[in-house]
């Protein structure tokens, strides 16, 4: 850690960071994610970014939203600008239950806590369940922000393999058995069953009951993270794990992808006793989620055709997915393979043996295209042959151009490899977990 502009130190330490010896043990696990380090370069206008996970908000009805939000402040400003309860705005909690009903969930507004995005919900769940050294099972690959949260609570992640139908039940059973034999405590399975970030695959409906049964039999909670569930490109909606098991599943939801990420409104639906703990944890973390933001979402759900809005999001993202997939089919050199998502934001690509996606990244950015190398989505060093390609943000013609550029970089890389052999050593610090399309 560097300290540009640091003043002369009062305490006389000679360390570059004079506070280094003061940090808690958990601070050691806090390192900048590869996704984050990339954002600065990837956001330059000449670069086609297939790296970010930002939703495309262009389709939002800004003018009518502007009027509604103005009215909230003019008419209910003394409530909207005041502290609220850590539990969340009651009307919004009722409305969220209606949203979840689309996925077959029958939940009570009282068993739900509104959070600052579902990221905070995940943080609070990890806070109340994970002691240092506890194991969390997660799909391999998994959401980079979740891996960061687990690390910040010193939980250890064990990845469970996926295939084109999502999490593989036998692999889950094996991971649980292995932990048991090693005398280690597994606190929960963290899963993104629908349109997985970053893998783009969906847990087959036929597998869901089996996954729940395995976890229940091993006395392990399931944390179901579902930000993309309503973004199926054919309007298809898969039944939530929570809809099949109300007592052993904590469901995390978000308006970041179906409405507006910058409002930071998410939630957790949890078994009642757990929800009570979550509210206490939320109080100590931030007192309450912003009242104004909760009222904006509530008003939006009450006055806008939010289901129609989600349909237009589906159409927009489907077009972008199509542009990405047809670009890949057209341009990618032999030996590359990828997932073909039917919803969400992401495609997961595997490149030929010998290509290191992290080492290649600077050359890709030079060629004005950005992606996220696969290693960021694993806690165990796997993923050097993988990358995440996002199709959520750039328009279709830019996506096509980006894929063309990326294919050029890859072809050159493979060419070099064939001529000189691999130049970078692959740094694997753990077992090689197969990625979805190689399992």
Is 34 a binder of a copy of itself (CB under 8 A)? no
Exactly one of 44, 70, 430, 439 binds a copy of itself (CB under 8 A); that residue is 70
Beta carbon nearer to a copy of itself, 215 or 328: 215
**One character per residue 291-310, x = contact with a copy of itself (rule: CB under 8 A):** xxx--x--------------
Helix (H, G, I), strand (E, B), or coil: what is residue 163? Answer: strand
Task: Name every residue whose Cβ is closer than 8 Å to that of residue 233 and which is 6 or more positions away in sequence.
Answer: 314, 317, 318, 321, 342, 343
φ and ψ at residue 375, rounded to 5 degrees: -60, -30
Query: Would you say 127 or 405 has its CB closer to a copy of itself?
Result: 127
Task: Out of 93, 95, 129, 201, name the contact with a copy of itself by CB under 8 A.
Answer: 129
Part of the chain binding a copy of itself (CB under 8 A), chosen from 25-33, 303-311, 404-412, 427-435: 25-33
Nearer to a copy of itself, 249 or 325 (CB): 249
Q: Which of 44, 79, 178, 423 binds a copy of itself (CB under 8 A)?
A: 79
Asked whether position 62 contacts a copy of itself by CB under 8 A, the answer is yes
What's the CA angle centered on 283, arms 278 and 284, to 5 degrees? 100
Asked if 9 is part of the footprint of a copy of itself (rule: CB under 8 A), the reply reads yes
- Residue 356 has phi, psi (to 5 degrees) of -110, 110
Q: What is the footprint of a copy of itself within residues 224-263 (CB under 8 A)? A: 245-248, 256, 260-263
Indicate which single residue of 27, 102, 205, 439 sits in contact with a copy of itself (rule: CB under 8 A): 27
Which of positions 335-374 make contact with a copy of itself (CB under 8 A)?
A: none
Write out the binding residues for a copy of itself, residues 134-173 only, by CB under 8 A. 134, 145, 148-149, 151-153
What is the rounded end-to-end Cα distance, in angstroms, of the chain?
Answer: 38
> What residues numbered 93-112 form the site for a copy of itself, per CB under 8 A?
108, 110-111
**Cα gap 232→247, rounded to integer Å:** 27
- What HEC string does 210-227 produce? HHHHHHHHCCCEEEEECC
Q: State the DSSP code for 288.
A: S
Q: Does 176 bind a copy of itself (CB under 8 A)?
A: no
For 34, phi then psi, to 5°, come to -65, -30
Nearest to 372 by CA among 42, 7, 4: 42
- With contacts defined by CB under 8 A, name the span among 169-177, 270-278, 342-350, 368-376 that binds a copy of itself: 270-278
Q: Pull the structure tokens for residue 334.
A: 């032999």
């Amino acid at each position: 850690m560097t300290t540009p502009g640091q003043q002369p130190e009062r305490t006389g330490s000679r360390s570059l960071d004079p506070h280094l010896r003061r940090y808690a043990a958990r601070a050691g696990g806090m390192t900048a994610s590869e996704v984050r380090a990339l954002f600065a370069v990837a956001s330059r206008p000449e670069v086609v970014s297939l790296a970010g996970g930002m939703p495309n908000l262009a389709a939002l009805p800004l003018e009518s939203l502007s009027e509604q939000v103005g009215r909230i402040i003019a008419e209910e400003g003394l409530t909207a600008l005041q502290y609220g309860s850590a539990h969340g705005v009651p009307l919004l909690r009722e409305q969220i239950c209606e949203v979840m009903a689309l996925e077959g969930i029958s939940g009570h507004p009282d068993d739900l806590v509104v959070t600052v995005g579902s990221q905070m919900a995940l943080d609070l769940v990890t806070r109340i369940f994970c002691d240092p050294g506890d194991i969390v099972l997660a799909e391999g690959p998994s959401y980079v922000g979740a891996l960061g949260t687990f690390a910040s609570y010193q939980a250890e992640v064990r990845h469970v393999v996926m295939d084109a139908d999502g999490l593989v039940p036998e692999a889950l059973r094996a991971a649980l058995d292995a932990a048991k034999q090693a005398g280690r405590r597994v606190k929960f399975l963290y899963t993104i069953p629908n349109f997985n970030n970053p893998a783009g695959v969906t847990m087959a409906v036929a597998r869901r009951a089996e996954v729940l049964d395995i976890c229940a039999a091993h006395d392990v909670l399931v944390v179901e993270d579902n930000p993309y569930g309503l973004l199926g490109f054919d309007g298809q909606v898969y039944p939530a794990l929570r809809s099949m098991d109300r007592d052993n599943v904590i469901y995390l939801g978000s308006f970041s992808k179906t409405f507006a990420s910058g409002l930071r409104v998410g939630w957790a639906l949890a078994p009642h006793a757990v929800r009570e703990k979550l509210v206490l944890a939320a109080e100590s973390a931030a007192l309450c989620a912003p009242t104004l933001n909760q009222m904006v979402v509530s008003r939006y759900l009450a006055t806008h055709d939010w289901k129609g809005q989600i349909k237009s999001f589906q159409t927009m993202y489907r077009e972008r997915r199509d542009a990405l997939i047809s670009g890949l089919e057209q341009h990618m050199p032999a030996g590359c393979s990828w997932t073909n998502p039917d919803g969400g934001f992401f495609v997961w690509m595997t490149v030929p043996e010998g290509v290191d996606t992290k080492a290649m990244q600077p050359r890709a950015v030079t060629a004005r295209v950005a992606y996220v190398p696969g290693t960021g989505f694993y806690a165990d060093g796997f993923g050097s042959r993988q990358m995440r390609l996002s199709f959520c943000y750039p328009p279709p013609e830019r996506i096509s151009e980006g894929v063309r550029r990326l294919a050029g970089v890859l072809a050159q890389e493979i060419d070099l490899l064939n001529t000189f052999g691999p130049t970078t050593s692959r740094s694997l610090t753990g077992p090689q977990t197969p990625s979805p399309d190689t399992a």
